[in-house]
Structure 1
């Protein structure tokens, strides 16, 4: 029996998932979620940021009773460089020997300053020449070292480092059946970034981190109501939502402009529109430049996906069916009574940490 912890450190919350695996079946042991502080940590100096993250991680380890010290983590945004490249056909072992040389033309800084990894996505034939499609990931060594020191200070060891988009892929793969000929997207709307994945026939073919997330919405609400960040965040979580025409409340009464919910939606609507526009642009780029099939479904997750009606809003704007990504859809939960309400409340936060735990076990 194997155990693994996935640790997802965001800009506002920390999430941890502990899974066990036996005979190819995954079981949820426990999970925990907590805010790091009252303000986004990116506004703090490095020492404050480190102290708050370490305190949050230690809190989760104690509250959830995690005993395993080795964790899998992931990075996203400007901390990483991701490239999808094609190379002349070679074996995995051959690619290991030349990857640093091949990567130099795709990395905007010295190859000696980065940690490189790759994943062979598949094989293609172009103009009679056999090639391999490769996902190339680069992370600066100094960033890796910072995370090692950060988590050592919290009493943990880094067993592996992944990227958010691949963790999301793992979460999708373990929880949903792959359908031949199907192309789907995952949108993880976090605090600072929205991770976008396009998965074709079970393989991630495109990923992008869009610099729009829940923090932007909270700032919009803060300006509208003249509130501090913490108060605006609380208001967003408790009363935030998107007003759509199909809602019964709109059909039965005309809301006043002074209604708090209307003011919240009015304040965040422009930012939400920008986010969906960036998603649509990414879809159009993928479908046109790669001559790929159209996206048939979108799975949505992340803390901001808890915003009421956001799934309907995205579906309406993209003209594509949208459904929540359940990180435990096919992962066994032995004590349903103990976890049912917690999963409903925190499930949207957990696809990355769950996918990381799956990856570590695999």
Structure 2
């Protein structure tokens, strides 16, 4: 296979790894991190920006004597939309993509014409004729800029992958973590902790069906950077980790709210800040879920001059992106086995042509005689009229069948659309930590919540968060009562008037 280049880009850094690939075995030859001169993950760049970034990367490639010319790009951005949706299982990919787009238009208020969409079927969740689809929407502007960047660097653009999607390679390629194979029936969470951001992903029975990115503020950045090799018991690291823990707890609660049939069995931690001592114990104790740092993965060799822990933690997604075959999905993938596949196809075509020529030469005389007889039958006046009527009826039946299929698809999509359920999920997601919703009543035009909060600040935060929900038009809080029994708390009700969905 030769040498390959993985270029992983996030909001702040560009991570580059040069590898040698032979079969399913990777050998990391060189690796480096470049501080991004600007944020390419938002996609709002002009040609001069790309020229500048290409010059910086080319300089580092030359300094490190990196020769690989075939590149896989990995993007890690909160501009990527990831959703899990439940829809009928269709056979044709074109019909499935059209159905997925129609459903996304009902769920998110963006112009999908500005996105490249890919999806993965989660067969394990199939019920009757329905199944779950994990869908990724990448801004076309980001894709175009990275293609332009590869051209400036004179690299062969193999594919562009999403960091969330890279985790799917763990099961599709039977990759072991810390010398252990993962159970395909279990649910695993993966937390990637960098100095500036954190991603939280869930692999549900082998497929990533939930992904979120959390960007730290400047204060947290400095705390993680200062405590990179420290212990979480120090004041700064504890403060930073507590903020991160609160965010991850919120993600876990929300995940359980949308899929409460199973629970997360284990958490794996990686990224540069995963080197903080005691971090896995910290998450285990506070989340009541077994947590473990990633130390090794199978099918990977490292050059003796590279630091093992540093390379694996910094380049985990980059490494996974290079385990590609025809069963994996990514954007505009060129198969890593392209030339082998082309050779097989050429041999098969040549064989088919040879057989065809032989058959045609043997049957030529028979065809000549049959043609004369068929001409007499075809051009008969009665047969022409009868054939015309048959074709007319066939066309009418085909039109009716297509209409019936479209009606069935639309009916299924309508039955699967549940605006009330969506609103309740959005409300649950913004409930503050020390606030409880004791009752909910819903009618066509409004939703009323009865709540208890530990402070007036919690009340204010909850109301402010509710106002940001798309389907809520206005909010009214009739009164707030102070409870002074065991501890000070505040009881109140919130009335949310909903927007008219039919007018949207």
TM-score of the aligned structures, taking structure 2 as reference length: 0.56
Query: What is the distance in 2 between the residues matched to 1:158 and 1:116?
Result: 19
Checking the alignment, whether the CA contact within 8 Å between 1:192 and 1:216 is kept in structure 2 is: no
Among 225, 230, 237, which residue is 1:241 paired with? 230
Aligned partners of 1:21 and 1:361 also within 8 Å: no
Per the alignment, residue 8 of structure 1 pairs with: 8
Is 1:358 matched with 2:345? no
The CA distance in 2 between the partners of 1:87 and 1:293, in whole Å, is 20
Alpha-carbon offset, residue 51 of structure 1: 6.4
Match of 1:186 in 2: 190
Q: 2-side partners of 1:63 and 1:292: how far apart?
A: 52
Whole-Å separation in 1 of the counterparts to 2:156 and 2:60? 15
- 1:343 is matched with which residue? 308
The match for 1:219 is 222
Distance 1:198 1:292, change over 3 A: farther
Find the aligned partners of 1:27 and 1:310 in 2 and give their Cα distance: 29
Q: Deviations over 1:292-326 (max 9, x none)?
A: 32222211111221233322322222222222224
Equivalent pair of 2:83/2:209 in contact (CA under 8 Å): no
1:291 matches 2:291:
no
CA contact (8 A) 1:123 1:131 kept: no
- Give yes or no for contact 1:36–1:52 (8 Å, CA) kept in 2: no
For the pair 1:209 / 2:213, whether they are aligned, the reply is yes
Kept in 2: contact 1:122–1:133 (CA 8 A)? yes
Most deviating of 161-170 and 95-104 = 95-104
Q: Summarize deviations over 1:149-190 as a string: whole Å, max 9, x none.
A: 234333334322221111134257523323143221110112
**Alpha carbons 1:54, 1:153 under 8 Å: kept:** yes
Structure 1 pair 142–178 and aligned structure 2 pair: CA distance change class (3 A): same
**Partner Cα separation in structure 1 for residue 305 and residue 76 of structure 2:** 32
- The residue that corresponds to 1:143 in the other structure is 142
* Aligned position for 1:82: 82
User: What SS is found at the alignment partner of 2:298?
Assistant: coil
Shift of the 52–36 alpha-carbon distance from structure 1 to 2, 3 Å rule, reads: farther
1:16 and 1:121 map into 2 onto residues whose CA distance is 31
**CA distance, structure 1, for counterparts of residue 69 and residue 90 of structure 2:** 37
The count of corresponding residues between Structure 1 and Structure 2 is 318
Give the superposition deviation at 1:344: 2.7
User: Structure 2 vs 1, CA of residues 26 and 116 (structure 1 numbering), >3 Å: closer, same or farther?
Assistant: same
Inter-partner Cα distance in structure 1 for 2:89 and 2:60: 46
SS at match of 2:123: strand
Partner residue, 1:249: none
Q: Hey, what's the Cα distance between the residues in 1 that align with 2:148 and 2:310?
A: 32
Work out whether residues 36 and 53 of structure 1, in 8 Å CA contact, stay in contact via their aligned partners in 2: no
Aligned to 1:17: 17
Q: Give the corresponding residue for 1:197.
A: 201
Deviates more, 1:274-283 or 1:48-57: 48-57
- Aligned positions of 1:20-39 closer than 5 A: 20-23=20-23, 25-36=24-35
Displacement of 1:220 after TM fit? 4.4
CA contact (8 A) 1:185 1:198 kept: yes
Greater shift in the superposed pair: 85-94 or 154-163: 154-163
SS at match of 1:218: helix
Change (3 A) 1:216 1:323: farther
Matched-pair contact (CA < 8 Å) for 1:36–1:56: no
Give yes or no for the alignment of 1:308 onto 2:297: no
> 1:210 Cα deviation (Å)?
2.1
TM-superposition CA deviations, 1:242-291 (whole Å, max 9, x none): 344xxxxxxxxxxxxxxxxxxxx323433321211221222222234312
- CA drift of 1:98 comes to 4.0
**Separation of aligned partners in 2, 1:130 and 1:155:** 47
CA distance in 2, matches of 1:200, 1:102: 22
Query: CA shift at 1:55, angstroms?
Result: 4.7
Cα offset, 1:97, TM superposition: 4.9
Q: Is the Cα–Cα contact under 8 Å of residues 20 and 29 in structure 2 kept in the other structure?
A: no
Partner of 2:153, secondary structure, is coil
2:4 touches 2:20 (CA, 8 Å); kept in 1? Answer: yes
Shift of residue 134, structure 1, vs aligned partner: 0.7
Determine whether 1:175 maps to 2:179.
no
Shift of 1:361: 4.3
Is the 8 Å Cα contact of residues 232 and 276 (structure 2) preserved in structure 1? no
Instruction: Give deviations 1:331-354, integer Å, cap 9, x for gaps.
Output: 24275x334xx2233321011111
CA offsets 1:35-63 (integer angstroms, 9 cap, x no match)? 416x8868xx9689756743553245335
Q: Which runs of 5+ in 1 are unaligned?
A: 222-232, 245-264
Instruction: Specify the SS of the correspondent of 1:338.
Output: coil
